[in-house]
Structure 1
Amino acid sequence: MQQFMKKVARVLAIVARIALWVSGTGLVLMTAFIAWQVWGRFVLNDTPTWTESSAVIIMGWFIFLGAAVGIREGYHLSFDVLLYILPDRVKKILYSVSDITVVAFGIGMMYYGYLLAEKTWPSTIPNLGFSGGIAFLSLIFGGFLMVIFSLERLARRACGLVTARFGETELPEEDL
């Protein structure tokens, strides 16, 4: 089972790296779009209308993809003070409870993101010409990645493999 989980971890590490690159690219694009908007407004006196809507949609993508990668790599929000004094067995239980909570949250993101996308799909974002539901696809996809990455953490822990915790930059190479 450990060998299978190591193969899964390698695949999900690639998925996480792609998500991180997409997030970084989105951050750069959003910054460029907003810079163009400011330049157009204050220098050219001709504000481009598409930049703000595009930036908001891109921001959703880099936030949710980045959050999912943060969950996989152990950088999600946590309160670890109590964990420093607890035995390892109790720590593993609490880490698992945390991961199960993130799975539930990710499922909620996917479900309610789908409902939002479905209800807004017939509308159009006026200055882009896209369906309004496009704005919520990042919520669905980010929630999906959160679920997958949290389930990976649970499975790794169940197999006796380490999972990244806050402050560790990545999983040990021998555990991938």
Structure 2
Amino acid sequence: MERLLDKTLSRVDSVAQLVLLTCMTVMIAVVASQVFMRYVLNSSIDWADEVSRMAFVWSIFIAIPLGIREGAHVGIDILTSRFPAHVARTVTRIMLALAFVLMCVVTWESIDVAAKTWSERLGAIDISSSYFFVAVIIGSAHAALHLLHLVLHPLDGRGPDYPID
């Protein structure tokens, strides 16, 4: 089961990295083009704000699970660092499980909000405003998988700051 979860997460992570790279590239290109158009050509691109904002939101929510995988998110361990190793492990695992539950709730609620607002359109580009929530759905579900993996299969010093001994 661990190998299946590892393989699945590895493949999902690879796709997420490509999506993240694409979103960042689009955001940089659109913003740079908009700046050039405004300050050099005294014109603007109507859809630049919405496209760059969409790329920014997608970048953020697609990157969150990759940060979990790498242990890059900020953690406050002023209390748990004083615990014996076995207590710190247990507390860490409980907190990871709670974070998993939270990501499941975020995923579920985002699906609900996206469904309820699907008919709302963006002004300059004719797509649903719910595509912002699609990024939240994908990112929170992906993050939940990483958190579940950490709960079920603690790491041995790789990735998140997770005490082993």
Q: How many residues align?
A: 161
Contact residue 75 and residue 166 of structure 1 kept, 8 A: no
1:15 matched to 2:12? The reply is yes
Q: Using the alignment, how far apart are the partners of 2:131 and 2:117 within structure 1?
A: 9
1:7 positional shift: 4.2
Mapped to 2, the partners of 1:146 and 1:124 lie a distance apart of 28
Pick one of 157, 160, 163 that aligns with 1:165. Answer: 160
Q: CA deviation at 1:22?
A: 1.8
Q: Please list every run of 5 or more consecutive structure 1 residues that lacks an aligned counterpart in the other structure.
A: 168-176
Aligned to 2:108: 111
Q: CA RMSD in A?
A: 2.0
Cα distance in 1 for partners of 2:133, 2:117 equals: 9
The whole-number CA distance in structure 1 between the counterparts of 2:148 and 2:105 is 15
Q: Deviations over 1:59-111 (max 9, x none)?
A: 11110111111112222231123333322211211211221122122122212
For 2:66 and 2:94, the matched residues in 1 are separated by 19
Output aligned runs, 1:3-152, within 5 Å.
4-152=1-149
When normalised by structure 1's length, the TM-score is 0.82
More deviation in 74-83 or 42-51? 74-83
TM-score (norm 2): 0.87
Structure 2, unmatched stretches of 5+, are: none
Question: How many percent of aligned residue pairs carry the same amino acid?
Answer: 24
Give the distance between the partners of 2:139 and 2:55, measured in 1 at CA: 13
Moved over 3 A (4+): none
